[in-house]
Structure 1
Amino acid sequence: MKNLVLILFLVMFHLATSQSFLHRDGQHIVDKDGNNILLRGLGLGGWMVQEGYMLQTGAFAGPQHIIKEKIIDLIGIEKTKTFYDSYLTNGITKRDIDSLAAWGFNSIRLPMHYNLYTPAIEDETTDEITWIEKGFKMTDDVLEWCKENKIYLILDLHAAPGGQGKDANISDYDPSKPSLWESEANQKKMIALWRKLANRYKDESWVAGYDIINEPNWGFTGQNKNGCDETSNAPLRKLMVATTKAIREVDNNHIIFIEGNCWGNNYEGILPVWDENMVLSFHKYWNYNTPGSIQQMLDYRTQYNIPIWLGESGENSNVWFKDAINLVEKNNIGWAFWPMKKVDNIAGVTSVTKNADFEIIKDYWKNGGEKPSEAFAFNALMQLAENYNIENVTIKTDVIDALFRQVKTNTTIPFKKHTAPGIVYATEYDLGTNGYAYQDEDFINYKTNTGIQGPWNKGKKMRNDGVDIQLCKDDNSNGYEVFDIQDGEWLQYTVNALEEGSYNILVRYSSAVEKAMIHLENEKKHISKPLLLKKTTDKSAIYNIVTFKDVKLVKGENKLKVVFDKGGFVLNYLEFKIKK
C-alpha cells in the first residue's frame, strides 16, 4: 500500500511540475495556468551560425566553413580563433536580450551550430562522442538573460552534424563530407546532442522547447534536390522520432517543435505526430499574406489537433511584416522573425555598420588581386567583430514599429521630433504603413508567388518601407535622400510648429526631368498650389531650392503631406521658415 501511495505521489508530482512549463493543450500552446501563449519571437541569426549573405559574402563564401577557410588563409589558425572568440562575444550580449524584451518580443529562437557543442565526426579521435563546453556556456548565458527578462527561449539546431540540406549556407553543409543523411555517425551525434541539451535544461521553465532540426531540405527519393516533391520523407521522420525518444528519456517537460522537408514546409509522410507535447513549425518567406498561404498548416492543426507555429519569417518590407503578423495572429499562430544582425541591413531589427577595411577583404575574396597583409586583415576582422556589438549597431526603429505597433493600428507617429522653424530631411517621414505614412508603387516582395524579385526600397538604405532611399554625400543632407519618385506618390511628416503663422517652406531637390511638380496637403485639404521643380542638371548631385510661400501652420502638431504630382526627381530636405 505504501508503495502504491508513493507511486501515485510521484505521478502527481510529475504532472504538476511538467504543467509549469509551456505545453500543448489541444491546438494551443498554454502556460501553467492554461492561458493561451502567443509567441512573438526573434531568431538570433548571424551569431552561432554564420551565413554568407548576412556578411555580404554570399556570392563567393556562403557556408560558414568556406568563410572560415578564407579567413584562415589571410590570418592563420590562431588569429582566426581570436577573431571568432571576439565575434561570438560581441554577437549577443545581455543588452541584446534586454533590448529585445523592451521592444516587445516575448521569446527568442536560438539558432545553434552543432560544432560549438561537439566536434565534427572527422575530428573525433575515438568512437565516443565528446563535448565542447563553449556552446553550452553560451546557451546558459542566453537562458539566464531570458529568465531575467521573463521571455522564453527556443533551442534551434540550425546546423546539424554533417548538414541537413542541399542549401549549404543554412546548415554549413560541406558536400565533400558525409551529410547528416549519409552518415549514421552524424545522426547518432545529433541524437546524443539533443539528449544532452534536454538533460541540461529539463528543469528550466523559461525554455519553451526544442526545435530539433531547422529547415531540412534534402531529396531522398524525389527529383527536387531540396525535398519539395518528397511524398514519404521516411529518413526525416525516422530521425525525428529517434531524437524525440532520446529527449523523452531525460525530459518530459518541454515542447518539441518539428519541421517538414523543403525548408520546413513539406510534411508529406511525417504526420501523424508521435508525441503528446509537440508543435508543428512552418516557415514563410516572400509569398502572399492571404489565408490560402497558410491553409495547409491550418488544416494540419485541425486534422491532428496540434498547435502550429511560424518558426521563421522575415527578409521583406515592413508592409509584408505587418500583413504576415496580422494574418498569423488572427489565426492564433505565434511567430519568430529573422534575423537579429546583418551587415548594412534594412529588413532586420538592427544593422551592423559596414567596415571599409573588410570591404577590401571581400573584394580580394571575390576578385583576387593583391592579397591583404596579415596585420591589415586581422585588424579589419577584429573591427567587424566589434561592429557586431549592440553598442555599435543601428537600431531599426521602423522595423520594430512594423512588427508591433503597426500590426494594431494604421495611425502614424513621428519618425523623430521635427520643429518649425527648422529642417526636415526627406527620409525622416512618419512611421506607418503604405497609404498612411507614405504612398509608393513598389512596397513588397512576393517572389515566391510571382517569380519576380520585387525590391521595395530600391536603394536599400536607412528604412524598410516602399520609399526609395539612397546614400547622399552632400554636406547639407543627413546622409540620405529620396529618389526614384513616381507620379502620385507622397510622404507625410509630423511637424511641431513653435508658433502659429505663415511659413515659407523651402524644398531642396535635384531633377533630371523638365517639369516635376509637387504640392502640400494637411489632413483635411490642399494647403498650397502646385509648385514646379525645374530641371537642375543631368547629374543628380546638383541641387536647387524652390519655395512654398505663406503656408499656414497651427501651433503644435501639423501633419503635412508632400504629394508628388509629377515625379522623376530627388528630394533632399524641407526647410521651414516663419514669415515675419
Structure 2
Amino acid sequence: MKTVFLFLAILFSTSIGYAQGFLKTAGTKIVNAKGENVLLRGIGLGGWMLQEGYMLRVYREAQQHRIRARAEELVGPERTQEFYDAWLKNHTTKADIDAMKAWGFNSVRLPMHFNLYTLPVDKEPVAGRQTWLEKGFAITDSLLAWCKANQMYLILDLHAAPGGQGNDLNISDRDGSKPSLWENEAHQQKTIALWRKLAERYKNEPWIGAYDVLNEPNWGFEDPQSDKNGLKEKSNVLLKKLMVDITKAIREVDQQHIIIIEGNGWGNNYNGILPPWDKNMVLSFHKYWNYNNEQSIAHILRFREQYQVPVWLGETGENSNVWFTEAIRLLETHNIGWAWWPLKKLGSNNPLEVPMNADYQAVLDHWNDPKKPKPSAEQAYRGLMELANSTRFDKNIYHKDVIDAMIRQPFSRETKPFDANLVNGNAVIPAVGYDLGINGEAYYDLDTANYRVSDPKKNTAGNKGRGYRNDGVDIGKDDSYYVSDIETGEWLQYTIDVTQKGTYKLKLLVSAENANGKITLLLDGKKAGNELAVPAGKWQALDAGSITLSKGKHKLRVLAGTGGFNLKELQFSK
C-alpha cells in the first residue's frame, strides 16, 4: 500500500518535494526516492534560536541565559524581551534562504533551543507533563516553507537540550549550577517527548531532510573530573540509551525520516554506541582546526564501511578560506555531505557578517571587563536593538570570497577578479582587491589556516587582521583596508581590465618599519620593470616606472622578493 501511495504521489503531485520524496539511506549513501545519491551541501543557522557567546563577542559568562540576564540588568526585562523578539524576527528570513539557494547550497541545519518549544522542567505547572509553546514550532514552520520554496532540505538539530547535554556550557546554554540532561530523568523525558512532538508535526514533510537528535554531547560519564567532555569515554551507556529512546519515540509516529546521531566528545566519540539500531540512520561527526587529510576522517570512514551506514559532517567551519576549500575537496572526494557553521555572526569568516555598532561595543566592553564603564540604559538599549536589526539579511556584509572558497574553489584552479579593476586613464586598485582563487593561483601566502588541533603551534594562521576577506592574506585597517605583514616569497595577483590602451605610470602605496622589502612586478607572467626597494616609513607612493598595456584583461602580480612591508594601493596614471 505504501508503494502504491508513493507512486500516486509522484504521478499526480505538482510539488517537486514529492517528486524527489523523502531522503533515506541506501548502504553508505543518502539517496532520494529515485535512488539518486544526494550530497548535502548546507549551512547551520547558528546564533538564531541559540546565541553562543563568541558569535556576539561575549567571552565572559557567555551562555545565552547569562547574556539575557545581563541585558536585563542594563535595560530591564521588557526591553530585553524586545531585543530577543527582534533578534528572532530578523536573524533569519526568507531572504537568507533564497540567498543560500542562489549561492549553491541545497540544505539548511536548524540549531534548536528547546525553550522555544516547551517549558523548562522547573517551570512546568505540573511535574512530569509537557507544556508546548507555539513560538518555536511557528518559526520552524516558516523556515520549512522557505526551504520548500527553494527545494532545499531542512535538518532539525537539537542544539540546546533540556538541562544541557555537555560541559561546554555555551553550546547548549547550560546552567552549570543545575542538574544536566544526564543528571535528571525529567530532562531526558522532556527531550524524548520533544522529538516525538516534532516527528508528529513533520512526519509528512519530505523537505525535512533528517532529525539530528542531539548536538555535540560532551560529558564524562565514567570520569567526570579528568574527562569532563567525554573524549576518552569507553561505554557511553547513558548517551546511547537516550538516543535509542528518542529513536523509539520518533518511530512511533514517523517511519519516514532519517535519524542522525552524534558521538560523545563534541560528536566524534562513538565508543559503545555502534552498531546503529535503526535502518534509516546516519552518523554525524564534527571537524574543526585539524588537518584536511585522510587521517582526519579515517575514523568515520571506518565506521561507514564497517556498519554500512552513511556519514555526514554536521558541523565545521570557523577557519580560513584555504581550510574551507581543503575540507570540502576532501569530503566530497569521499561522498560526504556537510553543513558549515555558521551562516552569520559578528566576524568575517562566514558568508554573512553582522556589523558592529559603537553603542553595542560599549556594552561588550563592560560585559567582558566589568572594570570598564557601565553604559547607560539608553545607550545599551540603542546598541542591542541596532545589533538585532543588523542581523537582517539586507543589513549584513556579504563575503563573496567565503562562498567562492566553498562552492567553486574546491573544484577549480581558475582565478576570477574580486573587483572590476578598470584601468581607463587614472585608476586606483585597492591592494585587498586581489583575485579570487586558491592559494598558489590567486595569491600566495605562507600561513593560511588554523590547524591548532593537529598542531598547537599552528593556532594563529590565516588573516591576522580578521577583517574584509578570509583568505590566508593578512589584512589590516587604518582609514582603509590594506594588505599587511607581507613575507618573503608571498605574492598577490590582480586581474585588471584595461579599457584604454597605452603606457601607464604605476605607483605602489607602501609602508614598512625597516627598509628591507623588495618588490618585483610580473605582467602576464613576464617581469615588468626593475626590482623595487621599499623604504622605511609610513604610507608613501613607490614609483614602479611605466608599463605598456594593451586593451583587455591582464594579470599583474606583486611579488615580495623580500618581505617586511604593507601594501595599500596600486595607482595607475596614463
| Counterpart for residue 53 of structure 1 | 54
Counterpart Cα distance in 2 of 1:10 and 1:90: 41
Equivalent in 337, 349, 352 of residue 347 of structure 1:
349
1:427 corresponds to 2:428: no
Counterpart Cα distance in 2 of 1:516 and 1:451: 30
| Counterpart for residue 471 of structure 2 | 465
The answer as to whether partners of 1:202 and 1:253 remain within 8 angstroms in 2 is: yes
Write out aligned runs for 1:115-134 (5 A).
Answer: 115-127=115-127, 128-134=129-135
1:260 corresponds to 2:267: no
* Normalised TM-score (structure 1): 0.94
Counterpart Cα distance in 2 of 1:339 and 1:396: 13
Counterpart Cα distance in 2 of 1:179 and 1:286: 28
Residue 157 of structure 1 and its aligned partner are, at CA, apart by: 0.3
| Counterpart for residue 12 of structure 2 | none
Residue 10 of structure 1 and its aligned partner are, at CA, apart by: 5.6
Counterpart Cα distance in 1 of 2:503 and 2:148: 55
The answer as to whether partners of 1:414 and 1:429 remain within 8 angstroms in 2 is: yes
Counterpart Cα distance in 2 of 1:318 and 1:446: 13
* Normalised TM-score (structure 2): 0.95
| Counterpart for residue 14 of structure 2 | none
| Counterpart for residue 421 of structure 2 | 418
The answer as to whether partners of 1:325 and 1:407 remain within 8 angstroms in 2 is: yes
Alignment deviations for residues 236-268 of structure 1 (CA, whole Å, 9 cap, x no partner): 000000000000001011000000000000000
Counterpart Cα distance in 2 of 1:515 and 1:33: 64
Write out aligned runs for 1:323-342 (5 A).
Answer: 323-342=326-345
Counterpart Cα distance in 1 of 2:463 and 2:173: 30
Residue 342 of structure 1 and its aligned partner are, at CA, apart by: 1.0
Residue 525 of structure 1 and its aligned partner are, at CA, apart by: 1.6
1:307 corresponds to 2:310: yes
SS at match of 2:541: strand
| Counterpart for residue 545 of structure 1 | 541
| Counterpart for residue 5 of structure 1 | none
| Counterpart for residue 291 of structure 2 | 288
Q: How much is the aligned-residue C-alpha RMSD, in angstroms? A: 1.4
Residue 100 of structure 1 and its aligned partner are, at CA, apart by: 0.6
Alignment deviations for residues 239-298 of structure 1 (CA, whole Å, 9 cap, x no partner): 000000000001011000000000000000000111010000000001111111111111
| Counterpart for residue 72 of structure 1 | 72
Counterpart Cα distance in 2 of 1:257 and 1:373: 46
| Counterpart for residue 179 of structure 1 | 180
| Counterpart for residue 359 of structure 1 | 361
Sequence identity, in percent?
A: 51
SS at match of 1:295: helix
The answer as to whether partners of 1:27 and 1:302 remain within 8 angstroms in 2 is: yes
| Counterpart for residue 154 of structure 1 | 155
1:232 corresponds to 2:235: yes
Write out aligned runs for 1:487-526 (5 A).
Answer: 487-526=488-527
The answer as to whether partners of 1:497 and 1:555 remain within 8 angstroms in 2 is: yes
Q: Which runs of 5+ in 1 are unaligned?
A: 1-8, 474-478, 537-541
Counterpart Cα distance in 1 of 2:468 and 2:6: 52
Equivalent in 455, 461, 485 of residue 461 of structure 2:
455
Counterpart Cα distance in 2 of 1:263 and 1:533: 48
Counterpart Cα distance in 1 of 2:95 and 2:398: 13
Residue 554 of structure 1 and its aligned partner are, at CA, apart by: 2.1
| Counterpart for residue 35 of structure 2 | 34
| Counterpart for residue 90 of structure 1 | 90
Residue 528 of structure 1 and its aligned partner are, at CA, apart by: 1.9
Alignment deviations for residues 93-113 of structure 1 (CA, whole Å, 9 cap, x no partner): 110000011111100000000
SS at match of 2:83: helix
Counterpart Cα distance in 2 of 1:291 and 1:10: 41
Residue 11 of structure 1 and its aligned partner are, at CA, apart by: 7.3
Residue 506 of structure 1 and its aligned partner are, at CA, apart by: 1.1
Deviates more, 1:14-23 or 1:372-381: 14-23
Residue 116 of structure 1 and its aligned partner are, at CA, apart by: 0.5
1:397 corresponds to 2:403: no
Counterpart Cα distance in 2 of 1:95 and 1:152: 16
SS at match of 1:534: coil
Residue 385 of structure 1 and its aligned partner are, at CA, apart by: 0.3
Residue 377 of structure 1 and its aligned partner are, at CA, apart by: 1.3
Residue 12 of structure 1 and its aligned partner are, at CA, apart by: 5.5
The answer as to whether partners of 1:528 and 1:548 remain within 8 angstroms in 2 is: yes
| Counterpart for residue 447 of structure 2 | 442
Write out aligned runs for 1:210-225 (5 A).
Answer: 210-222=211-223, 223-225=226-228
Residue 14 of structure 1 and its aligned partner are, at CA, apart by: 7.3
SS at match of 2:217: coil
Counterpart Cα distance in 2 of 1:15 and 1:545: 71
Amino acid at match of 1:114: F
1:270 corresponds to 2:276: no
Residue 566 of structure 1 and its aligned partner are, at CA, apart by: 1.8
Q: Which runs of 5+ in 2 are unaligned?
A: 10-17
Instruction: Identify if the C-alpha distance between structure 1 residues 15 and 162 changes in structure 2 by more than 3 Å, giving closer, same or farther.
Output: farther
Alignment deviations for residues 508-551 of structure 1 (CA, whole Å, 9 cap, x no partner): 11121123221110233212211122112xxxxx3211222221
Amino acid at match of 1:152: Y
Equivalent in 535, 554, 564 of residue 558 of structure 1:
554
Residue 62 of structure 1 and its aligned partner are, at CA, apart by: 1.6
Residue 454 of structure 1 and its aligned partner are, at CA, apart by: 2.6
Deviates more, 1:501-510 or 1:395-404: 501-510
Counterpart Cα distance in 1 of 2:113 and 2:468: 31
SS at match of 2:394: coil
Counterpart Cα distance in 2 of 1:171 and 1:148: 30
Residue 437 of structure 1 and its aligned partner are, at CA, apart by: 0.8
| Counterpart for residue 3 of structure 1 | none
The answer as to whether partners of 1:527 and 1:552 remain within 8 angstroms in 2 is: no
Count of paired positions: 558
Alignment deviations for residues 361-387 of structure 1 (CA, whole Å, 9 cap, x no partner): 111122234432222211111011011
The answer as to whether partners of 1:430 and 1:494 remain within 8 angstroms in 2 is: yes
